[in-house]
Copies of this chain bind each other. A is one copy, B any other.
């Protein structure tokens, strides 16, 4: 009840203050390292980070693939992240190390560390503002919106290519403030990542789906991996050292990580579109998919095991979307966001020069969504057919697209199919990954059924699906008939090029051949129609905000490195207060409260070694830092830059963070550094790792 009221109150504050101050209050904001709100940090928290503090933190922070964060915590390439950030890698390891997820893992020494297939870690090494270069390229393209969109994409791609250096240094085109700023981010990239330690799933994910996105919490959602290069652990002089003791209540803390996506700068029309069309449909799709997976899991113990990870990800997505929808559906809060936008538009209109350069992008976006909304939804529905969640279908589509795309000029290709990107794509495609054909059949069958239900009869993709007959039977035939699960088969098709693809009688390849032209056409539509119309409008909105608030506001999250700050503090919850931290006492309490039943069962070692533990050790804590999905695995550091915690979740109220940050109630949830040390020392017989994390001798085990 109170959540919504409070959200509304927050937005109300934002609206009330919009006239005089930038719309970022209290400890709100995911800031780029080059634009920290130094004045506010000094004024409110009495803290002025120096360059050494910032550099060390930036160098220690790493990103996992596209969806997680981590940090160097030892000079010999030791990296700390969440168990759930490496969950995909662990599932792939299950193929060769069955039971690893259930039992956890500790490498006896360096030779014993397990390479995590298909896992890539990157650290930011530099950023460059390319706003002017992009603007110039777009200007040169003339007036046609589609031509401008193509020129923008091509200029960005070329800048990325220029900034890269083989496989080791890669670049990314980053748009901040809805595209009002363009940047090139350069990263050092490593792909030899080895597992050092993970606890049992039951300890890492204690409380399972029910406790996910909630607090009070008691998870050891941590993993240690090591980054190798050329057969040796990499040097990581700028790594973080664990703090000596627990972080006190009220302490100022910082989160350095890679928040994935926020929509705080989106227009009301975009939010309404998400609220009324996009999210409800996504939610329904996920719920029916979840039901299908549950039916599959109910078939037997083996199926239940195979369904575990997909079920976790789908549950997670459902709870996340429900939270976001809840935030958008709060009438009062939404009304106040409307007020905010009205205010911004009025201020633009009141400044003739601004009014001339900005125009009315709000109406442009609103009209586009009104006119093209159905087409956009169809695009999304079709894209579900080739979702990366269904591996065999995803491989087939990439195999079919590869020769087709290579036949095109670089600037005409789909994103991810430029020459410089192909080698990595091929490597990813050839890595051995376990595929469960029966589970793939369930998910593909669900995708087929959704396509038949949601797409109009004359839709080209629906026609292809309809021609296959009963969706469940067709999916079963395809997933059992295909041999793409075999990496050698994929390699032969890759190396054979267009001819091999044309000659293949693999049923999944055959299906991909029919769908590929549709995928390509949709991508062109996305760029030449959607982006061409929306990008300039979004950018104009961003410029308007930028003109009025400058860099005293923070840009929406983009999966790039950001710094958030806040305090260790509880919040109003359930009619009372949630405490700043939980302890090992609380872990045992919650397990016993549920009769030690899953998902609140604990590994035996917890019960057997209970008396060795200091039960007052903090397990998880909350802080008022502004985070969002992608921040998982981020280090939490104190003023001295010492690691005090490991972000792994937000409370249920933080699900609104996508759209609005409520400083009163939104909280980031972290594993306490002390819990990790205590667990390594007392539960996992890995005292030497604990010593290393405390800054002691750095010895690869």
Q: List the interface of chain A (C-beta within 8 A of B).
A: 1, 3-4, 207, 210-214, 216, 248-249, 319, 326, 570, 573-577, 579-583, 585-586, 588-590, 592-595, 600, 615-616, 652
Contacts and interface: CB of A to CB of B under 8 A. Distances in A.
13 contacts: A1-B3, A1-B326, A213-B575, A214-B576, A249-B595, A319-B575, A570-B593, A577-B594, A581-B592, A582-B593, A583-B589, A585-B589, A586-B589
Contact of A585 (B248, B249, B592, B595): B592
Given A1-B326, A216-B593, A615 B207 contact: no
Name the 3 nearest CB pairs between A and B, nearest first.
A579-B593, A586-B589, A575-B652
Contacts of A4: 1
A592 B674 CA distance: 15
A585 B592 CA distance: 9
Nearest to A216: B593
A586 B579 CA distance: 12
A7 to B, nearest CB: 10
Nearest to A595: B249
Nearest to A2: B1
A615 B585 contact: yes
Contacts of A319: 575
A588 B593 contact: no
Nearest to A249: B595
Given A1-B4, A586-B586, A615-B588, A593 B576 contact: no
Contact of A581 (B1, B576, B593, B616): B593
A4 B210 CA distance: 20
Contact of A583 (B212, B573, B588): B588
Contacts of A615: 585, 588
A593 B583 contact: yes
A594 B570 contact: yes
B582 A589 contact: yes
A583 B592 contact: yes
A3 B586 CA distance: 25
Contacts of A580: 593-595
B576 A207 contact: yes
Which one of A248, A570, A583 has the greatest number of beta carbons of chain B within 10 Å?
Answer: A583
Nearest to A617: B592
Contact of A592 (B213, B214, B575, B616): B616
A585 B249 CA distance: 21
Nearest to A572: B210
Contacts of A589: 582-583, 585-586, 589
A251 to B, nearest CB: 12
A266 to B, nearest CB: 23
A576 B1 contact: no
A243 to B, nearest CB: 17
A134 to B, nearest CB: 42
A589 B616 CA distance: 7
B579 A594 contact: yes
A577 B3 contact: no
Contacts of A585: 585-586, 588-589, 592, 615
Contacts of A574: 214, 573-574, 652
A246 to B, nearest CB: 10
A615 B615 CA distance: 11
Nearest to A579: B593
Contacts of A575: 213-214, 319, 652
A576 B3 contact: no
A213 B4 CA distance: 20
A616 B570 CA distance: 26
Given A214-B575, A585-B588, 4 more contacts: A214-B576, A216-B593, A575-B652, A586-B590
Nearest to A590: B579
Which one of A216, A326, A600 has the greatest number of beta carbons of chain B within 10 Å?
Answer: A216
Contacts of A595: 248-249, 580
A207 B600 CA distance: 25
Which one of A574, A593, A600 has the greatest number of beta carbons of chain B within 10 Å?
Answer: A593
A19 to B, nearest CB: 31
A570 to B, nearest CB: 7
Nearest to A586: B589
A165 to B, nearest CB: 45
A582 B240 CA distance: 37
A563 B590 CA distance: 30
